[in-house]
Each structure stands twice: as C-alpha cells, then as structure tokens.
Amino acid sequence: MEQSDQQGSHPNKKVDQNKTNSEQIMGIEKKILITALLLIITIARYKSVIKINTNCSELVRIIEQDAEIKGDPNKYKDPTCKLCRKEVDDQQHWMICPENEVSLKEVTEATLNEVEKKTECQMVMVGTYQKKVYETYIAKKLPLMIITEEVKYPTIRLRDAIQYTPLLHNKLMENIRKQIWLKNRAEIKKKEGATPISNQITKPPVEKKKQS
C-alpha cells in the first residue's frame, strides 16, 4: 500500500518540476523583452545611435555578470558599492569608482593607442573622444552595446571611421572588462571574504593542569 502511494506521488513531482521550468523560461523571456524595449526606447531617444554591438563576447559577459549581481538579493541586499561605500553599484559607478586601480580615461586612452597602431589610421581629437565615452555611457547612461556618432572612430576620413568603429568599440569593451570590471569585482570579493574582527572565533586559553 505504501509503495503504491509513493508511485502515485511521482507524477505530482514531475508536474511541479515542469511548472518551475516554465516559470524560469517565462522569467528569462520577460527579461529579454524588457531589454529589447529599453533598446528601442534608447534608439528613439538618441537619434545619433548608429549601431548595436551584439557581437562582442567581452561586452556580453559584462552585461550578464552585471545582471547576475543585481539579481541576487541574498548576496546584494545593499546596493551600495562595497569599495567606496558612497554610490549605488550600477553600470555607471563600477566604471568610475574612485577605488578602481585603473580609471576609465586611462583605459580609453590605452585602447585608442592600441587600435591606432593596429589600423594605422591616424586619430584626431582624442581628448574629445574620451569625454564622449564618459558622456555616452556614464552621464547619459546608455547601454554599453550602443554605439553612437559621438563614440565612432575619431578620424577625419569617414570611410575609415565607419570601417574601424566596431573594432574600436569591441576593444574598448574588452579592456574595460579586463582592466576595470574584473579588478573591481576581485577587490569586492576580497572585502567580502575578510572575516570581521567581531566575528572571529577565538579559542579560550587552555589551563595547564597543576602537577600534584
């Protein structure tokens, strides 16, 4: 009798599992839909958008990891940056956190030099490009996958600008991830892994037995 009851409960477990899987799939589809809508709104708002970069693996990893961190309420109940303790730890902040080892400006400058050597296409108004990167992704809070007229390859030759802009953007995202994102998150993990003094377990001193 007990065996038949156990066998009868299996279909219910399967139904529950299917329900859970369906809910997870619906949740993922909802996130994708929201992201797509945000991109459409962004493009409609900023007429200067010329491309959405979905081919950069480094960029996708940044977005996925950023979403994973924000979506874990058990780990991150407090949205404040764990390094500086001053601002909300969002896309705009982790790129310019004052505790970062390397600044966004330094990464942008190094990327420009790297890409210019590779393409042998002379750049102009490099300082302006650095400011536009800040304005686009920090001040205006555009998603990192968006490429606008302001952040295209800075050269006077239009054909070269169009040709090399995807390369420049990919390399910039790759360097932002390696030089800022990964180092920023590594420092946060160090701080989270440190045991607070108040929580440290101290063993009571062992009393030596007196010899009789």
Band (72; pLDDT cuts 50, 70, 90):
low
pLDDT in tens, 148-178: 888 989 998 888 988 899 999 999 999 998 9
Sketch the domain layout of the chain as residue ranges: 48-191
Rounded Cα–Cα distance for residues 14 and 30 (Å): 24
Give me the pLDDT at residue 101, please. 93
Tokens of 175: 């360097």
Tokens of 112: 């420009």
**Could you tell me which of 170, 149, 141 has the C-alpha nearest to residue 56?**
170
Rounded (10°) CA dihedral 160, 166, 168, 173 = 170
Give me the pLDDT at residue 135, please. 93
Q: What is the DSSP string of 165-179?
A: HHHHHHHHHHHHIII
Q: Is 46 a residue whose pLDDT tops 50?
A: no
Band (49; pLDDT cuts 50, 70, 90):
low
Q: Is 7 a residue whose pLDDT tops 70?
A: no
Give me the pLDDT at residue 62, please. 72
Give me the pLDDT at residue 192, please. 74
Tokens of 66: 């950023």
Mean per-residue pLDDT, 44-59 = 61
Mean per-residue pLDDT, 121-139 = 92
Rounded to two decimals, what is the model's pTM?
0.64
Helix or strand run (H / E) with residue 21: helix 2-45
Band (106; pLDDT cuts 50, 70, 90):
very high
Please provide residue 51's backbone torsions phi and psi, each rounded to the nearest 5 degrees.
-165, 150
Side-chain half-sphere CA neighbours of 77 within 13 A: 1
Tokens of 173: 């995202």
Helix or strand run (H / E) with residue 127: helix 126-134
Mean per-residue pLDDT, 77-104 = 87
Report the alpha-carbon angle 46-105-190, nearest 5. 105
Give me the pLDDT at residue 76, please. 62
Q: Is 207 a residue whose pLDDT tops 60?
A: no
